[in-house]
């Protein structure tokens, strides 16, 4: 005999739902508009959401009650195993615990984007934090992926080791205007410098370079073209003279959108900071451990602090640059 959930008083319905497994709550939300509303009223947390794209497309996220800490929230994966079916996309549900999953779900005439929109609606989420391309090149056509992500709001685009210029161009065509981009390219070189120039000229809030070889920029001049508020470069091979030149150019108006720059250099290239301040008008800022100074941009009077450190993050030299308007 079916359980008469919808016949119960509203407060009792809420108590019943709170005792259900998170996967069952999502399953219940597909039954009807009324059950979907019941699940929405739980106000579950929706954290660390990712759309992962490689040999298949996966929506990953953490869910939990408002009182749950991040560490106790449940991680869930929705694997979309076929994108182009006309009868409905089959979804494999995975949770990283041994409780009978994975399960296979399928709703007639329900495509990938329908699933994503439903999940976002159930959790009252306005965006997916990250769209990440990783592993082998995705077998799906660019237009197919564009139709899936069109209109979705991503905070961050991550490219994890594309194998060629064409792979990278395909990724940028699918998510063309992210507010944050993170490039992880530790085994390949991209040769189309004109396309890289176009990418760096876009307006970003964050531009993160993890294991990204400097040959893609070729010179400090190319690096200076990055149009972002925050830049983090974790494999810089700039010399002391390059950093000195960067600060001089900044005082003359270069990188006007920059608010924060973090560079981790090579200990084989930077062994000390001798000469980094040559020719720079500055104010020394006392610090008991690091070399720190303040400089001012001539064009508009903006003030910045520069910090130089050795012996941090596995003995790699570090340069931090904060801009204050």
- For the stretch 252-299, pLDDT in tens is 999 999 999 999 888 888 988 999 999 999 998 888 788 899 999 988
Question: pLDDT band at residue 199, thresholds of 50, 70 and 90?
Answer: confident
Q: Is residue 290 part of a domain?
A: no
Q: Is residue 71 part of a domain?
A: yes
Nearest to 261 by CA among 287, 231, 234: 231
Q: Is residue 54 part of a domain?
A: yes
Based on the domain organization, do 22 and 142 belong to the same domain? no
Query: Is 99's pLDDT higher than 60?
Result: no
| Residues in CB range of 187: below 8 A, 6 or more apart | 161
Q: What is the pLDDT of residue 184?
A: 79
Based on the domain organization, do 27 and 58 belong to the same domain? no
Q: Is residue 309 part of a domain?
A: no
Q: Is residue 231 part of a domain?
A: no
Most confident of 20-24, 57-61, 67-71: 57-61
The number of distinct structural domains making up the chain is: 2
Percent of all residues in the chain with a pLDDT value above 70, rounded to a whole number:
88
Q: Is residue 166 part of a domain?
A: yes
Q: Considering the chain, what is the average pLDDT of its residues?
A: 84
Based on the domain organization, do 173 and 108 belong to the same domain? yes
Domain that holds residue 3: 1-42
Based on the domain organization, do 54 and 115 belong to the same domain? yes
Mean per-residue pLDDT for 21-47?
88
Q: What is the pLDDT of residue 107?
A: 78
Based on the domain organization, do 74 and 32 belong to the same domain? no
| Residues in CB range of 282: below 8 A, 6 or more apart | 293, 294, 295
Place of tokens 């319905």: 13
Based on the domain organization, do 22 and 106 belong to the same domain? no
Based on the domain organization, do 75 and 125 belong to the same domain? yes
Based on the domain organization, do 99 and 161 belong to the same domain? yes
Based on the domain organization, do 60 and 131 belong to the same domain? yes
Based on the domain organization, do 19 and 75 belong to the same domain? no
Based on the domain organization, do 90 and 163 belong to the same domain? yes
Lowest mean pLDDT among 84-98, 140-154, 276-290: 84-98
Domain boundary among 162, 178, 194: 178
Q: Is residue 144 part of a domain?
A: yes
Q: What is the pLDDT of residue 188?
A: 63
Based on the domain organization, do 86 and 22 belong to the same domain? no
Q: Is residue 252 part of a domain?
A: no
């Amino acid at each position: 005999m079916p359980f008469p959930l919808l016949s119960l008083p509203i407060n009792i319905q809420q108590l019943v739902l709170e005792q259900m497994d998170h996967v069952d709550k999502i399953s219940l939300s597909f039954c009807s508009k009324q059950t979907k509303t019941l699940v929405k009223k739980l106000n579950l947390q929706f954290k660390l959401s990712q759309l992962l794209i490689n040999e298949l497309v996966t929506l990953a996220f953490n869910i939990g009650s408002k009182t749950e800490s991040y560490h106790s929230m449940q991680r869930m994966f929705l694997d979309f195993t076929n994108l182009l079916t006309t009868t409905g996309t089959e979804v494999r549900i995975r949770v990283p615990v041994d409780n009978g999953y994975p399960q296979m779900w399928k709703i007639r005439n329900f495509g990938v984007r329908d699933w994503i929109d439903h999940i976002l609606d159930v959790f009252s989420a306005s965006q997916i934090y990250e769209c990440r391309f990783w592993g082998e090149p995705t077998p799906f056509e660019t237009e197919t992926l564009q139709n899936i992500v069109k209109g979705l709001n991503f905070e961050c685009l991550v490219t994890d080791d594309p194998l060629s210029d064409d792979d990278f161009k395909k990724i940028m065509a699918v998510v063309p205007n992210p507010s944050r981009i993170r490039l992880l390219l530790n085994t390949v070189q991209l040769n189309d410098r004109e396309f890289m120039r176009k990418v760096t000229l876009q307006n970003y809030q964050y531009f993160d370079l993890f294991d990204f070889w400097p040959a893609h920029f070729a010179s400090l001049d190319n690096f200076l073209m990055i149009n972002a508020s925050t830049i983090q470069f974790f494999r810089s091979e700039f010399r002391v003279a390059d950093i000195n030149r960067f600060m001089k150019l900044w005082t003359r108006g270069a990188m006007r959108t920059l608010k924060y720059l973090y560079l981790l250099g090579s200990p084989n290239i930077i062994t000390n900071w001798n000469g980094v301040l040559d020719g720079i008008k500055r104010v020394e800022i006392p610090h008991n451990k690091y070399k720190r100074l303040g400089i001012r941009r001539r064009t508009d009077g903006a003030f910045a602090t520069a910090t130089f450190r050795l012996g941090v993050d596995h003995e790699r030299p570090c340069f931090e640059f904060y801009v204050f308007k």
